[in-house]
Chain A
């Protein structure tokens, strides 16, 4: 039975045509995946469905009635709930207040606390999470429980359709499985879910049918069982993609450029030792929170390290030396790509040119005066080389899609002339087309003699581009081994470590 039916939805913002014709059919009790590259119009479509935007043209029908929400509140009333990519709880308020926000039980303005907590508990119980107390402050809950609170908020309004925009982007593996259990439960009770994700594996696991958006139009839809990944990817990027990962021949120079011995930064990093060779790509796998990011940050001096030494070039640096370390490392050609692109990867308010050249402004300045034209020309070369989709070097970085922003960050590393590059989650939140280009850039850098360390939660990527892989387990880095000696299973097994995995398994089935 069709729940939601969209036909010919169009939306423009000035000269930008965000949606040029979207058809979408969602049945009751199905998980419908919406896939497409960043900028394909998924977010615009979600905002239209949730009542934040109204379409310029097209028809929307919900349960065989015309659906034209006046605003987010109206959309909620008609049974459409939106769970955003970033968690959107109010951390200072209680679980119950979050679940029933905007619809608090009250008598002439006075909040009915007992009724509020009772109703929240009913919903949590219906959803088989009675262990979460309605009176607890959301700030004190772990991330996974916060997401349950958000799903319960959708349930509280009797949603018949829940929009989930990359709900797993901030979750770890086991929380993803919890979430999927929740989604299946919702589906079985007749609720439909529109599920947006960049991960085809994830979509295969959870979704029943799919629609592909490209350049603001729906270009393909169908059942996942009858479609291959290659077909979906082809529809997404508009051209056949043979391989996501570039062919590359490891250099195997044997020339050691960086050695780290017994680095520790308790409690997150307990013991990390590794060597990095010229022209090598070294991958670091591990669970979120296992200390991978903190290892890199303490190595660079962005977090205080306790013990350990760093040998770079012919110099030995004690890891504890904090203030001067980063400068020295950078002088040796170390570059860093943060996992937090928006927070510290890019200065979003500045232009693409400023961002790309900021670590090496001397290349386009004289006597301290910046030559804007030289800066723009140099940036234009990177734009062309990395195929960054941008109007001009002067455009603000904030206007770019996630994938293109990441390419700007990589352009900065290239412009800096970094010889040793530490990348943390280089393709997080990046669409498939941009991913392929980023992998290409990594392969090219390695081919030119750069040494690259990649921290990633996305295993296929580690297997696709790395020469060796090491696994971080609760602050301890395993020895790196050639990629051929690993399988996805052995990596996961190592990553989970000696945790009683049986007990953890039970947790996944609430």
Chain B
């Protein structure tokens, strides 16, 4: 609406300094948040050396893995202007299923594949509900939140599933079996997958179409992009990461527990939003989301170090989520007025 009265050629061609600056601020925002959280807790704890010790950083990184893996999948979904609320239940379901597979004597690789592909399948079902039944993603995945949790309890017979020791248990151990790895294999796995996902979003036709879908679905459809099929791929891919997070969860607990990971979706969504993802779609980055996940993990860890009770953590994280989304709203509002 508020366009300048007289548009001149330089206005069309020239760099818009202000918006370039704004993008810089936005790109830096997540890092500043992370530095702020670390600094605040380092000072408040009165013992920065302990908070930032190699041991503690190692613990934080290991704790980050599940949220970070979920955040990779969620970033793709949120960029496409979607949402998935079923993450926590899918993590539990896939963890339980791969635990059952291990207990039944499947080789670890097969159990891993089973958990991951079940996650992708659940994502596909979400995608089908969204595209075929025209249910908005919020509702479709809210339904799946219940369905997957129930299914997890059902297949586990409402009990935890104990697993034999295999290399799969090493995935998220704070001290890796081989000292040269420095951090848990799950951390390395997450880093590699994050890089691959970032490259995919940046440099593949699929990735760019995810952005197009989130930026303007009608335009994408008008350009002959099969948006429904694209959504199936997006939710399946997201589910794949949630399934992997489930296997890591099982590995950490050394058992399949159908009641774990309640509310993990909120941490995952918060990580993406803190990292610059917009719930209106079209914006978000894997790197940002990883920073967001780290911020959440340092926050939780800091609260624990301070000896604050669990409920204080919950309150703080709840406030952070709202503030991050408020910042997101402010950004988009400013963009709309431009």
Tell me if B212 is interfacial: C-beta within 8 Å of chain A.
yes
CB distance from B64 to the nearest CB of A (A): 27
Whether B208 lies near A293 (C-beta < 8 A) is no
A104-B205, A111-B205, A113-B203 in contact; A142/B216 too (CB < 8 A)? Answer: no
Question: Is the Cβ of B1 less than 8 Å from the Cβ of A293?
Answer: yes
What residues of chain A lie closer than 8 Å to B13, measured between beta carbons?
Answer: 131-133
Q: Is A386's beta carbon under 8 Å from chain B?
A: no
- Let me know if A91 is at the binding interface, CB within 8 A: yes
How near does chain A come to B108, taking the closest CB pair, in angstroms? 30
- In Å, the complex CA distance between A142 and B16 comes to 10
The answer to whether A93 and B12 touch across the interface, beta carbons within 8 angstroms, is no
For residue B222, CB closer than 8 A to chain A, the reply is yes
- Interface residue? B179 (CB, 8 A): no
Whether A142 pairs with B220 at a CB distance below 8 angstroms is: no
Contact of A102 with B223 at beta-carbon distance under 8 Å, contacts A93-B208, A97-B208, A113-B203 already known? yes
Instruction: From B12, B16, B205, B219, give the contact of A88 (CB < 8 A).
Output: B219
| A72-B222, A104-B205 known; A499+B212 contact, CB < 8 A | no
Which chain A residue lies CB-closest to B338? Answer: A139
Instruction: Name the CB-closest residue of A to B207.
Output: A111
In Å, the complex CA distance between A109 and B12 comes to 32
Q: Which of B15, B20, B203, B212 has the most CB of A within 10 A?
A: B212
* Cβ-defined contact, A91 with B11, below 8 A: no
Give the interface residue-count category, chain A. 35 or more
Residue among B16, B20, B223 having the largest count of chain A Cβ atoms under 10 Å: B223
Q: Which of B2-10, B151-159, B165-173 forms part of the interface with chain A?
A: B2-10
**B12→A92 contact, CB < 8 A:** no
**Inter-chain contact A101/B212, CB cutoff 8 Å:** yes
Chain B residues contacting A110 (CB-CB under 8 Å) are 203-205
Return chain B residues, CB-CB under 8 Å to A84. 218, 222
Q: Which of A153-211 contact B (CB under 8 A)?
A: 153, 172, 174-175
CB–CB A140/B219 < 8 A: no
Q: Are B282 and A92 in contact (CB under 8 A)?
A: yes
The answer for the CA separation of A102 and B38 in the assembled complex, in Å, is 44
CB of A73 within 8 A of chain B? yes
Give the A-B contact count at a CB cut-off of 8 A: 119
Instruction: Give min CB distance, B202 to chain A, whole Å.
Output: 8
From 164 to 205 in chain B, residues with beta carbon under 8 angstroms from any chain A beta carbon are 203-205
The reply to whether the CB of A383 lies closer than 8 angstroms to some CB of chain B is no
A269–chain B nearest beta-carbon distance, Å: 12
Chain A residue contacts of B206, Cβ below 8 A: 109
C-alpha gap A71/B229 in the complex (Å): 15
B215 within 8 A of A: yes
- Given contacts A88-B218, A97-B212, A110-B204, are A287 and B224 in contact (CB under 8 A)? no
Contact status B204-A109, CB under 8 Å: yes
Contact B205 A93 (CB under 8 A): no
C-alpha gap A151/B282 in the complex (Å): 22
A15 CA to B238 CA, complexed, in Å = 43
With a cutoff of 8 Å between Cβ atoms, the chain A residues found around residue B4 in the complex are 142, 289
With A113-B203, A140-B16, A142-B12 as contacts: A101 and B220 at CB distance below 8 Å: yes
B328 to chain A, nearest CB (A): 14
Give bound CA distance, A129 to B2, whole Å.
Answer: 24
- A448 in the interface, Cβ–Cβ < 8 Å? no
Q: Which residues 1-55 of B have a CB within 8 angstroms of A?
A: 1-9, 11-13, 15-16, 19-20
User: Within 8 Å of chain A (Cβ to Cβ): is B327?
Assistant: no
Residue numbers in B under 8 Å from A288 (CB-CB): 3, 5
A76 touches B224 (CB 8 A): yes
* A288–B7 CA distance with the chains assembled, in angstroms: 11
Q: Known contacts A101-B225, A102-B223, A104-B208; decide if A499 and B1 are in contact (CB<8 Å).
A: no
Indicate whether A144 reaches chain B with its CB closer than 8 angstroms.
yes
In the complex the two chains form, what is the Cα distance from A299 to B283 in whole Å? Answer: 36
Rounded to whole angstroms, the CA-CA distance of A276 and B170 in the bound complex is 80
Contact bitstring A60-97, B, C-beta under 8 A = 1, else 0 = 00000000000111001000001010001111110001
Give Cα A132 to B5, complex, Å.
Answer: 20
Map CB proximity to B onto A98-124 as digits: 1 under 8 Å, 0 otherwise. 000111101001110100000000000
A91 near B19: Cβ-Cβ < 8 Å: no
CB-based contact A142/B11 at 8 Å: yes
Q: Which B residues from 279 to 307 make CB contacts under 8 A with A?
A: 282-283
User: Given A88-B218, A93-B212, A111-B205, A172–B12 Cβ distance below 8 Å?
Assistant: no
Q: How far is the CA of A103 from the CA of B208 in the complex (A)?
A: 12
Per the bound structure, the CA–CA distance linking A72 and B1 in Å amounts to 30
A143 to B5, CA, bound (A): 12
What residue in chain B is nearest A84 (Cβ atoms)?
A: B222
A88 nearest in chain B by CB position = B219
A101 touches B335 (CB 8 A): no
* Nearest CB of B to A182, in Å: 13
Closest to A101 in B: B223
B329 contacts the other chain (CB 8 A): no
Q: Could you tell me the distance between the alpha carbons of A499 and B7 in the complex, rounded to whole angstroms?
A: 12
Write the chain A residue with the least CB distance to B12.
A145
Which residues from chain B contact A129 at a C-beta distance below 8 Å?
12
Q: Is B219's CB under 8 angstroms from A101's CB?
A: yes
Specify the chain A residue showing the minimal Cβ separation from B10.
A131
Q: Which residues of A contact B282 (CB under 8 A)?
A: 90-93
Is the Cβ of A93 less than 8 Å from the Cβ of B211? yes
B275 at the interface (CB under 8 A from A): no
User: How many angstroms from the CA of A132 to the CA of B11 in the assembled complex?
Assistant: 10
How far does the Cβ of A308 sit from chain B's closest Cβ, in whole Å? 20
Cβ of A268 under 8 Å from chain B:
yes
Tell whether A141 is near chain B: CB-to-CB under 8 Å: yes
Residues of B within 8 A of A131 (CB): 9, 12-13
Contacting residue for B3 out of A111, A289, A507, CB 8 A: A289
Q: How far is the CB of A251 from chain B (nearest CB, A)?
A: 34
Nearest chain A residue, comparing its CB with the CB of B223: A102
* Residue A221 interfacial (CB < 8 Å): no
Asked if A230 is at the interface of the complex by the 8 Å CB criterion, the answer is no
Q: How distant is A27 from chain B, measured CB to nearest CB, in Å?
A: 26
In the A-B complex, the 10 residue pairs with the closest CB atoms: A73-B224, A131-B13, A102-B223, A90-B215, A92-B282, A88-B219, A101-B223, A92-B215, A102-B224, A145-B12
- Extra contacts besides A101-B212, A289-B4 (12): CB < 8 Å: A72-B224, A73-B224, A93-B212, A101-B223, A111-B203, A111-B204, A113-B203, A129-B12, A287-B5, A288-B3, A289-B2, A507-B8
Q: Could you give 26 example pairs across A and B, Cβ below 8 Å?
A: A84-B222, A90-B219, A90-B220, A92-B211, A92-B214, A92-B283, A102-B220, A102-B225, A103-B224, A104-B205, A111-B204, A111-B205, A131-B9, A131-B12, A140-B16, A142-B12, A153-B223, A175-B7, A287-B5, A288-B3, A289-B2, A289-B3, A289-B5, A504-B6, A507-B8, A507-B9
Interface residues of B (CB under 8 A from A): 1-9, 11-13, 15-16, 19-20, 203-208, 211-212, 214-216, 218-225, 282-283, 335, 338
